[in-house]
Structure formats: C-alpha cells, structure tokens
Structure 1
Amino acid sequence: MNDLLLKLRQNAEMRRVPIISRQTEEFLKEQLLKYKPRHCIEIGSAIGYSTIFVAALMQAWNGQVTSFEVAYPAYLEALMHIKEANLHNITLYPFDIVTSDVRKFVPKKGDFFFVDGQKSQYGVYLQEIENIKEENSLIIIDDVIKFHNKLDGLYEYLSKKQINYQILPMEEGDGIMIIKH
C-alpha cells in the first residue's frame, strides 16, 4: 500500500493536483489510530489519495469509508486508484452532498469526518454533516488557514450553532480545524 501511496503522491505533485499534505496525513493517522472510527465520511476525495490512506488504516478494525467527489474526472481517477489498491471498505460517490440528500447514500451515520472539498461550501458541508453524524463524532476540516478568505460560510455556521473548534497549524501557511461533538 505504501508503494501505491508514494506513486500517487509523486504523480499528484508532478501534475499539481492538490492532495493532503504529509503533515495532515500524519495527523489523520494519529487520530484514526486513537479513535478507531467505524465509519469515516470524506467530502472531497480528489484522485483518491486520502480515501485510500484512510481506508487502508481502517480496514484493520473493519472500518468503512464513504467518500464524495464533485469533479467527475477526479472521481473516475479515484475509482481507478481504489481498484488498484484492492480495498473493499470504500464507497465512492460522484456528486456534491449539497445537491443531493446525502442520507440516501450513507448507510449508517458517521463517527469520523474528513472535509477537503470545495472551500466555499465548508459551512454547507458542516450543516449536512449534522444530519449524518453520530454523537461523539470527530470532524477534521483541511486547508482552513490557506483558504481562510473562502470560509465565511463555515465561520457563520459555527457561530450560529455555537460550535467549539480548534485550529492546528500544519504545513507552512496552512492548518486544519478540529470539531469534537
């Protein structure tokens, strides 16, 4: 699996396709191993790098990953990479959770969420997550420093719902948001 992930990272860097940073990857690994979630819901799979990374870890405890990717070409590429990874604990959908009733596609509520989709939609994504999350869920939102100017909707929603969060710096100029609830 490590060879495939290395190949995918190198290919993404060469093509300038954004995937999770190494620091974010390490943080995700720590959180996944600590919490051992049963069902991760990912919003924004891109070419499938983070999806494969998360699913490979979660298969150790029979965890499942449901991922959504709005860009159809990226979705097709992710499907190809997931097939190459030979992981059977991933379900990938080619649409934006904002435009469809996500509850129809999520067989059970999620207890771990990784959000790395369209930055301007983060607030709406969080609203949708409220409908499909278990109690005591962990939500990790990527790129909250680098793209802070696109996150007004996210901060408005957090303020309106009085949701506490923590921002952790990751790589230079960026970081992640953590919401535990």
Structure 2
Amino acid sequence: MKNEMMERPVVQKELVTFMREGLKAFDGKLGEVEAYANERRIPIIPHETAVFLNLIVGQLKPKQVLEIGTAIGFSASLLAQHVGEDGHVTTIDRFDIMIERAKANFKKMGFEDRITLLEGDAADILPTLQGPYDLIFMDSAKSKYYEFFPYCMDLLKLGGMLIIDDVFQGGTILHDEKEIPKRVRKIHRRLNLLLDLVMDHPALETSLVPLGDGLLMIVKKEAFDFFSILEIEEN
C-alpha cells in the first residue's frame, strides 16, 4: 500500500493535481515502469518529485550514485540515465519481491551493467561501502534516516549532494509528539532529530522542497564526524 502520507499533500491539493497531470510524462520504458507502479499503488516517488529529480540530476551529471531504497527500480533507472556509460548507480533494498521486480526492470531498460543492486538491510550494507559518491538519494524506512545520515555524509564527496525523500510526514512533522499516533512516533522523533541536526549545521548547505511529502536536499561543504553527535534511542 502506498504511503498514507502521500494522500496528505503539504501544498494545496489542486496544485498537486496540476503538477502531477501537467508536467511532461516520461518517455519509453521509464514511463511504462512509472505507470505500472502508479496503477498498482506501488510506492515510488510521485511524478512531480521524479520530474524535479530528473532535472536536478541532469544538471549535476554525477558519475557515482548511491540509492538507499530501490523498490521496483524506477528512481534508480531515472538516476542511471544521467551517469553516462562510465558512471554507475549502486542501490540497496531488502525486500525480495521488490528486488525481483527491480532486476527485471533494469534488464528491460538495458541498465544491467550500469546499476548494481545490493540485497540486504542498509544498516548492514552501508558500513561496508567505500565511496566516494557524487550523489546519494535516500528513500527508505523513515525511522532509519537519522541513523543512516552519518554513513551518507561519510560516503559523500565534498561538494556532493544528499537528497532525502518524504521528510514532512504529510505536514505532521510540525505537530506536538502527543498528537502523533503511537505507531509512528518513532518516525516523528527521528525526522525531527534529523531536521534539527542539518538545518543550520555549518558543514552543510541545506534546503527543503515541498514536493511530494517533502524533499530534504543537503550539500556537503566540509568534512564532519556526524557519528560523534548521533543520538540513537532504543525504542
């Protein structure tokens, strides 16, 4: 089932509809994968976010890209379009059904040699990666963003960009924790910890974009050991 927060847009519903229906559709097989996911409510980035990501990455032209959260391979394929024949996308996922579909889509689009799918939990895989990466796109378990963030900063090159999807939780990120259902309070706390950490950190250049359920965009200006200030709660 698609993330319920995607039914609570952080901008006017009419504007969301305008963007999703008005922005140009993707051509060819990438468009087919997007349509397939939307028809079956498979959780991929919404169209307005995908178009924005496509535009930004097209300008950045990264060579080494890391993605955390593959789903059926739509965003990894979008990213792979911009790395060139000498670039590479590494993506991580732990769900067998998604991995199977993603691999089929990579083959369908001819990206088998341009994308490596690492199977397993990102918490186990991230510490084993070497980097550096020019761009990292994180769209995985929201409760893990804060925990994964120091690894992303460690793997990202100076001047590289980290883009994190779904950080607004349908706007509830601003609510008092007592108003948040207990089942999602951990996500609420972790996302607020992340935002508090990155919004004005001197080693980072940070921006928020109200597309989809919110994009957090971070440029690594200086090296900093974020592991040293990480606050991980047990529950």
TM above 0.5, yes or no, is yes
Task: Say whether the 8 Å CA contact 1:126–1:154 is kept in structure 2.
Answer: no
Aligned length: 176
Quote how far apart the aligned CAs of 1:29 are: 1.6
Quote how far apart the aligned CAs of 1:130 are: 2.2
From 87, 98, 103, give the equivalent of 1:74: 98
Task: Write the distance in 2 (CA, Å) between the matches of 1:160 and 1:138.
Answer: 16
Q: Which is further off, 162-171 or 122-131?
A: 162-171
TM-score for the superposition, normalised by structure 1: 0.86
* Mapping 1:23-34, distance limit 5 Å: 23-34=48-59
Task: Write the distance in 1 (CA, Å) between the matches of 2:132 and 2:210.
Answer: 29
From 84, 88, 106, give the equivalent of 1:64: 88
Quote how far apart the aligned CAs of 1:58 are: 1.9
Task: Say whether the 8 Å CA contact 2:61–2:82 is kept in structure 1.
Answer: no
Task: Say whether the 8 Å CA contact 1:97–1:128 is kept in structure 2.
Answer: no
CA displacement 1:47-83 (0-9 Å, x = unmatched): 00011111022226x3211100121210111011101
User: Counterpart in 2 of 1:156?
Assistant: 193
Task: Write the distance in 2 (CA, Å) between the matches of 1:9 and 1:112.
Answer: 22
Larger Rg: 2
From 38, 45, 64, give the equivalent of 1:39: 64
Task: Write the distance in 1 (CA, Å) between the matches of 2:48 and 2:102.
Answer: 22
* Mapping 1:48-127, distance limit 5 Å: 48-59=73-84, 62-87=86-111, 88-100=113-125, 102-104=126-128, 106=129, 108-127=131-150
Greater than 6 Å deviation, 4+ residue runs: none
Q: Does 1:21 align with 2:82?
A: no
Q: 1:160 to 1:107 in 2, by over 3 A?
A: closer
From 175, 199, 215, give the equivalent of 1:176: 215
Does the residue aligned with 1:13 lie in a helix, a strand or coil? helix
Provide the aligned C-alpha RMSD in A: 2.1
Quote how far apart the aligned CAs of 1:164 are: 5.1
Quote how far apart the aligned CAs of 1:2 are: 2.7
The letter for the 2-side match of 1:36 is K
The letter for the 1-side match of 2:75 is S
Task: Say whether the 8 Å CA contact 1:103–1:131 is kept in structure 2.
Answer: no
Quote how far apart the aligned CAs of 1:25 are: 1.2
Quote how far apart the aligned CAs of 1:160 are: 4.7
Quote how far apart the aligned CAs of 1:13 are: 1.3
User: Counterpart in 2 of 1:12?
Assistant: 37
Does the residue aligned with 2:50 lie in a helix, a strand or coil? helix
Task: Say whether the 8 Å CA contact 2:61–2:83 is kept in structure 1.
Answer: yes
The letter for the 2-side match of 1:175 is G
Task: Say whether the 8 Å CA contact 1:98–1:128 is kept in structure 2.
Answer: no
